[in-house]
Structure 1
Amino acid sequence: MGLQRVWIGLGLFLASALAIAADTDMSDVDAAIDETIARYGLPGLAVGIIENGQVVYRRTSGELVAGEGAPITTQTLFKIASNSKAMTTATLARLVDAGKLRWDDPVVRHLPHFRVSDPWVTREMQVRDLLIHNSGLRAGAGDLMLWPEPNHFTRADVIAGLAHLKPVHSFRSRYDYDNLMYIVAGEVAAAAGGVPYEDLVRREVFAPLGLTRCQVGAWSPGDIGDVAQPHTRRDGHNAVIRRDGATVAAATMDAAGGIRCSLDDMLAWMRAWLRPDAPSHPWLSPSQRNAVWSAQIPIPVSRRQRDWEGSRYTAYGYGWRLSDADGTFKVAHTGTLSGMYSSVTLLPQRGVGFVILINADAEDARSVLGQALLKRYTAPQSVHTVAHYAQRVESERSAPGASRAPDTSARRPLASDAIPTLAGVYRDAWFGDVSVCPEAGEMRFRAHKSPMLDGRLMRVGERLLVDWHDDSVDAEAWLEFTPGAHDGPATLAMAKVDPDADFSYDYEDLSLSRVRDCQSGAQPQK
């Protein structure tokens, strides 16, 4: 921890001495962006770069909605997804500065109704524990209460549901990425700050930093204008998914991933971190900056990090990932939602930061463009192009054993009378009710509080699979039925068909027991 604080001190107080000189020739950046757009067929993106604490590059390309003509601009709103977490922790840090809470406060001091499955952990969990992914729950536990959206889960549902989620590791023993605890953190901030989370982040982050376009909570796209829509690839073309309606409602997951901002907003946000001494940004004390960027829990260094960046350590601070890249201190985070990808990277020792915003399912595009931009500053003596990293990604993907997804192409619908005892309504303590009932001669799965989780049951060999109706739900599920025995109810267990699919499809945390039959008039609950 001590070494980490020294690095942070160097980044914050000696940035001007260590920063690289501004390079007005950005032709290599333009070339990298052009190649990324062409290679991955992106509908739109926005990229910005800061050097020496000053914005030296802005680039936008593409459309808000593919094929409709309205262009991406520096004012276009994108979903920043999990880059919202750093704004939540900044809000908390402001409250710490104001004396309204402490990082080591027990959570129950601010939320007396907070519970997890272990009473000791309930008593011992501190505000800081909500932010660093050390709860002991599996990665993404309970995320089915957040995604796919829209759904009918509230923040009260999330907090109540935590009491029923079972840990897979001991508390504080290891890192496993967690979104639900950030929902709790947002409610802790609201309780300490005296106003709802959305009002608080506007007051403590947006207003003092001049993030004039950022949106959180309820708002109207028609009134705000210039809003990028998420896309996925279908038949070689970009197609909009989950398009905004006339009103965007306040989302349960706002504190974990619900904020939208423009490129100009994100550049102002990064400058506030890279230029803490600037007169316009006296918004956070040095002690709280150090707290937010101090290593709180180690993260295993991935093979890609070792091979691509020469990383020797990775850790999580409060809402930021901390690592070394080619010997340079790196502070970064990514954001991932269906059809929207973001990336923020700061190199405090060099006074450099860059942001990438994409309105598409674009993990590879984000990775290779981000790496090409990173190497521009951490290893300028080498040439590392988008093509170079794209080829490495393809090599990783085609390596023997890289994909664990089984072949499920030989699937056929499950007839409604194939398993006579299967039909019924099943209940999980945190997720609520699901119906597995006959419909048009087949069996259909419907989650009552998550309407996107609606699909047909299919046979794949001896196994059952749920084939979701909406293809934007991109992780199919195995369904395992166990008939009731010894007066116990029938049960269902679920698991991802592709074990490497997004961990937020946390089917494995469901424990569904039959509570009634399909003829009892069960209707989806709101």
Structure 2
Amino acid sequence: MQFYKPFIALTVLVLSLSFPVCADTWVDDFANELKATAKKKKLPGLAFVMVAPNQPTRFEFYGKTEKSGTLIDKETVFRLASVSKTFTAVFMAQQVKEKKLAWKNSLQELLPDYKFDNYIDTPILLQHLIGQSTGFIPNAYDNLIEANYKLPRVLEHLEKLDSLCKPGICYTYQNTFFGVLEEYYRQQKTTFADEITKSIIIPLKMPTASVGKNALMASKKWAKPHAAIDKNKWVSVRVKDNYYKYSPAAGINASAADMEIWLKAMLLEYPDIIDKNMIETLTKPRVKTKREMYRREWRKQLTDAHYGLGWRIYNVDDIEIIYHGGWVQGYRADVAFSPQLGVGYALLMNAESNSINKLTATFWKDQIEAHKIGLLADIKK
């Protein structure tokens, strides 16, 4: 789930670099900054991973799963929080490709026993749910998720909401509405977890990715969540299951090794599973996200910002960065890639800290500057 609260601890960073000029230098500098930040903030741990088409994968790690835990490595599993929405979006695109669902399926069609459509002439569609443009007040009834209300009861509350705009017109970020997909698959006598696992996670051969709280805690090695009790002081907390009940919104778990594969898939290295048309559909700008333009660490770089289907689309110096972030208690995650540059990035943390915002923005600033240097070098040749 996407939030703008702090939290940190473990970091996975995955990138694909399409240019050789100065690449090693700036990436080394960024890796050093990453570790220096972790040390300064006294973070429990972090992991850095870099993949490039013609280069060996690079891994950097810092810290442990918890104070008395084991060292972080590429198979240490984290909660992805709202980065899960990128998995859900890809899964939905696959379901559409296989004609099991359609982007124009209304929520009413998916769950006939509920009524979500305030605009009869403009029903809320699957593409509105995945595209965060349902038209209802942002983060509607997240408080009920956090209060651990049962899913059917939350869906009943959603029926009573008043709309801010017609579906598809304005950006209205949600978590609770993803419960529609959770309930839809339950009524199909299966589960969202089972379906996305057999359709996405297993075909991509992700070694440690999973769905749900029990799966996280059953992992051979997983990063324990940490919350701040004072500035730069962290304490281990229990894993909450509330948002796990909305797994299409925030239920995926993954390691650096898994995210390496995920970013490669976004960069079309697994076309038999995730093809170009799917990615282009998901990353097409659909609703403008004005608030993103004022994010502290991004505002000097951003020239435009939209939401597509399960992904944010940032324009940074005429380079499109496809991005999503996530937060739940004790974890933070960022994932991004640029088809234009052939670059992918992910940063996973198991403590609550806003330093992830600066690190991600810095990475892309440095990445784009290095790209320009590479272009100039090519011209001089």
- Could you tell me which residue of structure 1 aligns to residue 70 of structure 2? 70
The 2-side partners of 1:372 and 1:382 are apart by 15
Kept in 2: contact 1:51–1:353 (CA 8 A): no
- Could you tell me which residue of structure 1 aligns to residue 116 of structure 2? 116
Where 2:168 maps in the other structure, the secondary structure is coil
Aligned residues: 354
TM-score of the pair, normalised by structure 2? 0.84
Kept in 1: contact 2:117–2:124 (CA 8 A): no
- Could you tell me which residue of structure 1 aligns to residue 5 of structure 2? none
- Could you tell me which residue of structure 2 aligns to residue 255 of structure 1? 248
Where 1:204 maps in the other structure, the secondary structure is helix
TM-score of the pair, normalised by structure 1? 0.62
- Could you tell me which residue of structure 2 aligns to residue 49 of structure 1? 50
C-alpha deviations, 1:83-137, integer Å up to 9, x for none? 000111111111111111110122222221231272627x711111111222222
Kept in 2: contact 1:216–1:259 (CA 8 A): yes
Q: Does 2:197 correspond to 1:206? A: no
Q: Does 2:287 correspond to 1:291? A: no
The 2-side partners of 1:113 and 1:381 are apart by 52
Matches within 5 A, 1:236-275: 236=231, 237-243=233-239, 251-274=244-267
The 2-side partners of 1:197 and 1:332 are apart by 23
Matches within 5 A, 1:420-499: none
Q: Which amino acid aligns with 1:163?
A: E
Q: Which amino acid aligns with 1:31?
A: N
- Could you tell me which residue of structure 2 aligns to residue 125 of structure 1? 124
Q: Does 2:352 correspond to 1:361? A: yes
- Could you tell me which residue of structure 1 aligns to residue 28 of structure 2? 27
Q: Does 2:152 correspond to 1:162? A: no
Matches within 5 A, 1:157-196: 157-188=153-184, 195-196=190-191
Structure 1: which 5+ runs fail to align? 1-15, 384-526
Kept in 2: contact 1:106–1:127 (CA 8 A): yes
Quick one: structure 1 residues 307 and 219, their matched pair in 2 at CA, closer, same or farther if it must change by over 3 Å?
closer
Q: Give the drift of 1:227.
A: 1.1
The 1-side partners of 2:306 and 2:217 are apart by 41
- Could you tell me which residue of structure 1 aligns to residue 9 of structure 2? none
The 2-side partners of 1:307 and 1:47 are apart by 21
- Could you tell me which residue of structure 2 aligns to residue 40 of structure 1? 41
Q: Give the drift of 1:291.
A: 1.1
Where 2:227 maps in the other structure, the secondary structure is strand
- Could you tell me which residue of structure 2 aligns to residue 345 of structure 1? 336
Quick one: structure 1 residues 27 and 106, their matched pair in 2 at CA, closer, same or farther if it must change by over 3 Å?
closer
Quick one: structure 1 residues 249 and 207, their matched pair in 2 at CA, closer, same or farther if it must change by over 3 Å?
farther
Quick one: structure 1 residues 170 and 101, their matched pair in 2 at CA, closer, same or farther if it must change by over 3 Å?
closer
The 2-side partners of 1:209 and 1:93 are apart by 15
The 1-side partners of 2:302 and 2:54 are apart by 25
C-alpha deviations, 1:235-270, integer Å up to 9, x for none? 4521012247xxx79931211012111111011001
The 2-side partners of 1:158 and 1:53 are apart by 49
Quick one: structure 1 residues 186 and 69, their matched pair in 2 at CA, closer, same or farther if it must change by over 3 Å?
closer
Quick one: structure 1 residues 53 and 197, their matched pair in 2 at CA, closer, same or farther if it must change by over 3 Å?
farther
The 2-side partners of 1:262 and 1:112 are apart by 37
- RMSD between aligned residues: 2.8
- Could you tell me which residue of structure 2 aligns to residue 408 of structure 1? none
- Could you tell me which residue of structure 1 aligns to residue 317 of structure 2? 326
Q: Give the drift of 1:360.
A: 0.6
Higher-RCO chain (CA-CA 8 Å, sequence separation at least 6): 2
Where 1:105 maps in the other structure, the secondary structure is coil
Where 1:94 maps in the other structure, the secondary structure is helix
Q: Give the drift of 1:68.
A: 0.8
Q: Give the drift of 1:316.
A: 0.7
Quick one: structure 1 residues 352 and 55, their matched pair in 2 at CA, closer, same or farther if it must change by over 3 Å?
farther
Kept in 2: contact 1:322–1:330 (CA 8 A): yes
Kept in 1: contact 2:35–2:62 (CA 8 A): no
The 2-side partners of 1:337 and 1:218 are apart by 13
The 1-side partners of 2:24 and 2:369 are apart by 18
- Could you tell me which residue of structure 2 aligns to residue 459 of structure 1? none
